[in-house]
Homo-oligomer: A and B are copies of this chain.
Amino acid sequence: MELDERPILYSYWRSSCSWRVRTSLLWKNIDYNTIPVNLLVNEHKSAEYTAINPMQEVPTLVIDGNTLTQSLAILEYLEETHTEKPLLPSDPLTRAKVRSLVGAIAIDTQPAQNLRILKYVGDEKSQDWAKHWITWAFEGIEKQLSSTAGNYCVGDEVTLADVCLVPQVFNARRCGVDMSRFPIISRIDANCVKLEAFKLSDPYAQIDCSEPKGT
């Protein structure tokens, strides 16, 4: 396949980590090409893909001639190199508040319920497992947000914390977490999904989406 000079995002439509990077690229108006990697048929484990992403994960971003892996590393790179429309505030303390919420989501929530863990847990138990860990984490995140949130996770500007929160709320709903217990998280999510970058990065807006919305 011949591609133009735009960045290439290796992405899976329902991957939270891919979604984070899609949102940042769209937020910053960085036009990019998507190459879908279908996790359900193990495309991420092919020799070709492993050569560019040794952890066999999505996303991978090829940008500025470089191949970058790990969603948080990519998000930080985009902050440092594409400084228009920042997703991190400027002062170190507020940045730490944003990154603390990013950690609570990307480290304490998502890894406990990602696809490889759920496969290992087994079909029978996987939904309860995911629900348990997302609920556990959201209890702490809701408390943490009570002292940082405005319209978004930290005050009234969209940050990397929101970029990470929205896909996690999607996963929570998908596995039946009772979101009425988390009014702040729900309110922030509702504010975010009105924004163009979140709409366009939504799984159901992706070229490799294989299910109609609502299934």
Q: Which A residues form the contact surface with B (CB < 8 A)? A: 50, 54-57, 64, 66, 68-74, 76-77, 80-81, 92-93, 95-100, 102-104, 106-108, 110-112, 116-117, 120, 132, 136-137, 140-141, 143-144
Contact = CB atoms under 8 A, between A and B. Distances in A.
Contacts of A111: 107-108, 111-112
Interface of A is mostly: helix
Nearest to A132: B120
Contacts of A92: 77, 80-81
A170 B203 CA distance: 38
Contacts of A104: 55, 70
A200 to B, nearest CB: 24
A140 B107 contact: no
A132 B143 CA distance: 33
Given A140-B54, A140-B56, A80 B95 contact: yes
A115 to B, nearest CB: 12
A22 B20 CA distance: 30
A106 B104 CA distance: 12
B73 A100 contact: yes
A113 to B, nearest CB: 10
A103 B72 CA distance: 7
A55 B107 CA distance: 12
Nearest to A64: B93
A72 B72 CA distance: 11
22 contacts: A54-B140, A55-B104, A64-B93, A66-B93, A68-B96, A69-B144, A70-B100, A70-B102, A72-B99, A72-B107, A73-B97, A73-B100, A73-B103, A76-B96, A76-B99, A77-B93, A77-B96, A80-B92, A107-B107, A107-B110, A108-B111, A111-B111
Contact of A55 (B71, B72, B106, B137): B137
